[in-house]
């Protein structure tokens, strides 16, 4: 049989196929997450989200009506610095359980067995491989059609058939997905050129990213081309066929961007940690990458913007190997006379967040703090997630491990990690220091070449 599911923010009900054998208990989900982290040697923890920070938003009106959700607990799971969707519950335990459940499908990745299934509020609906598709939940009211035998799915397919994405693009493949949505590699038929197309819910964060990118034109920032809205979402399930979903309370935003390498700076760091490159080679490679990141940050700050979520996972490489800063979903403006303003508390990724991001007032120096940690991570070889967490904890207090045998880089990095933001250097100053150091690293080689010539 085909199944029809209706999800409402008011009822928050969920239907489950009683014949599905993939149901597991909440405890099993958290245990699986724990086993996954142990197996992959990564750290994980749960973050409590303040009840007062959780709101419902009326997307059907021009004015936003915010109603606090009282007597509920909100937690999100963080694994190896990656944050997953917020789970909620009547108790702390239930909220953590739901957070684990929401993260589990993403952790499964390309595995051949389906993620667990729960008949509880605030969870994703997951299904068996043979009959049903796994459909990510939306926080808004939505209608989801599953099972190819369901005639209603053909209606959704007909809606999608003539949409801009599928009519103007082909050779579509999924590059990645997460709480933000999906990113696809797609060929634009008219130009016979490949692009990255990000598909997300048409929400404030997505619009903020588009608005920021549309004004940024720099070789070290992912290039934005254009965007458009569609009523339907295109999703590709790598295990079988495509999925379709229709949201009745929001549209989807399709963002066409420069296609970058699938490997991020985080992947680059992991590769270097798995091998043992010469120290001199890693220093040269690291300063080259650091220079390009600072170039991008300097440009962002010159535009009176703050990235707020600078980290290796958000730094990519262009097709020519050039560093590209991406993911501007948390970007904010520096608007007032003192270049400081009231901002969202604790916005960003915890490991790379500056101390003042736990407060309401901060400026672009939060990006400088994050850069210092990134440069530190570029140079330091670590063998485990636990070791990395220890080194990071000390580095945030300007304490460097004995394994960090880079004295000149230490002189550059240490000021960026000052607790007081006014004591951190500007991006322009860092740029000049890095240029001098990069030149110094080349000098011995140049002198040697001159001696050989003589």
In the chain, count of helices (H) and strands (E)? 11, 20
Strands (E), 17-138: 44-49, 55-57, 66-68, 73-79, 82-89
Catalytic residue among 126, 309, 327, 363: 309
Q: And the tokens for 228?
A: 């458009």
Could you tell me if 362 and 343 are in contact, meaning their C-beta atoms sit under 8 angstroms apart?
Answer: yes
- Distance of alpha carbon 451 from the chain centroid: 49
Indicate the helix (H) or strand (E) that contains 7: strand 3-7
Residues in Cβ contact with 243 at an 8 Å cutoff, skipping those fewer than 6 apart:
133, 134, 135, 235, 236, 237
**Do the annotations mark residue 90 as ligand-binding?**
no
Residues in Cβ contact with 71 at an 8 Å cutoff, skipping those fewer than 6 apart:
51, 90
Annotated catalytic, 192? no
- Residue 115 CA: distances (Å) to CA of 16, 129, 211, 275: 14, 10, 36, 33
Question: Would you give the DSSP letter of residue 1?
Answer: -
192-201 in b/e form (b: 16+ CB < 10 A) is eebbbbbbbb
CA dihedral (99, 103, 104, 109) in degrees, to 10, reads 180
Burial-class residue 35 by CB neighbours within 10 Å (0-12, 13-18, 19+).
Answer: exposed
Q: What are the residue numbers of the active site?
A: 309
Residue list, annotated binding site: 198
Residue list, annotated binding site for ATP: 198
């Amino acid at each position: 049989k085909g199944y029809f599911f209706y999800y409402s923010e008011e009822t928050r009900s969920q239907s489950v196929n009683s014949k599905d054998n993939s149901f597991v208990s909440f405890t099993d989900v958290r245990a699986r997450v724990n086993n996954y982290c142990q197996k992959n040697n990564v750290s994980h923890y749960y973050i409590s989200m303040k009840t007062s920070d959780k709101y419902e938003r009326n997307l059907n009106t021009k004015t936003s009506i915010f109603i606090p959700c009282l007597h509920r607990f909100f937690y999100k799971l963080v694994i190896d610095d990656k944050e997953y969707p917020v789970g909620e519950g009547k108790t702390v335990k239930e909220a953590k359980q739901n957070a684990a459940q929401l993260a589990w499908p993403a952790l499964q990745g390309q595995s051949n067995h389906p993620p667990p299934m729960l008949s509880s509020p605030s969870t994703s609906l997951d299904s068996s491989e043979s009959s049903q598709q796994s459909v990510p939940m939306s926080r808004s009211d939505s209608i989801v059609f599953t099972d190819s035998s369901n005639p209603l799915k053909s209606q959704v397919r007909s809606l999608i058939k003539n949409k801009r994405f599928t009519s103007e693009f082909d050779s579509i493949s999924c590059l990645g997905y997460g709480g933000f949505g999906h990113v696809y590699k797609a060929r634009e038929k008219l130009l016979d050129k490949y692009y990255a197309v990000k598909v997300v819910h048409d929400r404030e964060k997505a619009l903020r990213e588009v608005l920021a990118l549309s004004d940024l034109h720099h070789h070290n920032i992912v290039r934005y081309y254009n965007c458009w809205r569609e009523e339907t979402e295109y999703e590709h399930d790598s295990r079988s066929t495509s999925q379709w979903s229709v949201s009745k309370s929001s549209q989807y935003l399709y963002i066409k961007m420069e296609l970058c390498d699938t490997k991020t700076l985080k992947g680059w760091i992991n590769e270097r940690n798995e091998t043992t490159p010469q120290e001199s080679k890693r220093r040269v490679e690291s300063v080259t990458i650091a220079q390009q990141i600072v170039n991008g940050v300097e440009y962002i700050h010159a535009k009176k913007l703050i990235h707020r979520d600078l980290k290796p996972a958000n730094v990519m490489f262009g097709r020519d190997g050039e560093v590209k800063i991406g993911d501007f979903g948390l970007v904010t403006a520096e608007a007032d006379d003192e270049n400081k303003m009231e901002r969202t508390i604790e916005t960003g990724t915890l490991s790379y967040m500056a101390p003042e991001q736990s407060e309401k007032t901060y400026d672009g120096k939060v990006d400088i703090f994050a850069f210092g940690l990134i440069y530190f991570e570029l140079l330091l070889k670590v063998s485990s997630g636990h070791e990395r967490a220890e080194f990071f904890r000390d580095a945030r207090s300007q304490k460097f491990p004995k394994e960090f045998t880079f004295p000149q880089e230490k002189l550059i990095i240490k000021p960026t990690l000052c607790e007081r933001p006014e004591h951190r250097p500007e991006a322009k100053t860092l740029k000049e220091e890095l240029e001098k150091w990069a030149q110094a690293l080349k000098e011995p080689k140049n002198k040697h070449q001159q001696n050989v010539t003589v």
